[in-house]
Amino acid sequence: MKKDFDKILFFMIVLLSIFGLLMIYSASSVWALYKFNDSFHYIKYQSIFFIIGIILMFFISKVDYKLYYKYSNIILLISFILLILVLIPGIGSIRNGSRSWFGIGSLGIQPSEAAKISLIIFTSKYLSNSSNYINKYFKGIIPILLITLLFFGLIMLQPDLGTATIIFISIIMILFIAGADMKFFIGGGILGVIGVVFLIIIAPYRVDRITSFLNPWKDPLGTGFQMIQSLYAIGPGGLLGNGYLNSIQKHFYLPEPQTDFIFSIITEEFGVVGAIIVILSFGIILYRGIKISLNSNDAFGKYLSFGILFQLIFQAIMNLSVVVGLIPVTGVTLPFLSYGGSSLLVSMLSMGIILNISRCN
């Protein structure tokens, strides 16, 4: 029997997104006025995506999630084709050094964002049909791992290590809760570390990110500049911050603060209290999502809701870790808060699926 969706989860997403709009305006207004002669440039575009996202999330919450089970192969194939097309010059456009976008005027769409959810849908279906032989590698783990590595490779060609890592780790975690043998994770972990080291070594800019992470003050005006400016924003925030719109670092110190480093501006303007509220908001989303996953009536719903939830929370943890200097710069956004239409739409669409699963519990 269907019921209403999880209202607490829905309102937390809406409130966090509205707060994101306010912070995007604060973080981007100075740069937008300089670059476009319009301090509202970024907030106008993000507001459009927010309205579309709310409508989309509400609509998806009413679509039976079992429909994705039926069309998972087609969804995965479409994502695969888009990841290939975006690599073709003239079709995919380059932004911030990565050929990750389909440009539509001043707007951009990232197919890697859609790949996140499509691979989770496919993996959830695969595992729900393969639970009896999950630890028979060539019938269980290996096929899904090969598909994941294929997607990982296509996204790395853009290149986008941050998104590729989120996708790969999310699939590994779904395999873990599905009951895969721990030997697989130990062996896979060793191979993963070797692979990451190799990917870092072959790309000089990734080596620069590692060295700037270890000692950003070694090159304070170059590779370490963004990290240093982020810390300069967080440090003076204190307990309550400098107040809304009163950030100093957004005045051409912290590059494009409305994207990956928006949490720095939040902390500068709202202090430790603001940072804790944001983290607690993600904690509430995590709690409600886990509850929905545990109460799901079928394996596909459990894997799907958990995979979507883990991916979103893991992305948030990665972003926050970068901002406070715990890991090197990865280039991933903070869900619901950072500027980026594709990220916001996919995040809301994903939450719409979880909301529908909550209706069917």
Cα angle vertex 293, ends 287, 296, to 5°? 140
- pTM of this prediction? 0.91
pLDDT 10s digits, 107-132: 677 888 889 999 999 999 998 887 66
Look at residue 33 in the predicted model and tell me its pLDDT. Answer: 93
| 3 state SS of 185 | helix
What is the DSSP code string of 249-284? TTTTTSSSTTSTTHHHHHHHHHHHHHHHHHHHHHHH
CB 14 within 8 A of CB 285: no
Q: What is the pLDDT of residue 161?
A: 84
Where are the chain's structural domains?
7-359
CB atoms within 10 A of CB 44: 11
Rounded Cα gap, residues 265 and 244, in angstroms: 9
b/e 268-305 (16+ beta carbons within 10 angstroms → b):
bbbbeebbeebeebbebbeebbebbbeebeebbbbbbb
**How far is Cα 259 from Cα 226, in angstroms, rounded to an integer?**
12
Nearest C-alpha neighbor of 245 from the set 228, 257, 260, 235: 257
Segments in the chain below pLDDT 50: none
Q: What confidence score (pLDDT) does residue 225 get?
A: 83
3-state secondary structure of 102: strand
- Give per-residue pLDDT as tens, 10-43: 999 999 999 999 999 999 999 999 999 999 999 9
Residue 61: per-residue pLDDT: 94
Structure tokens at 303: 């894997």
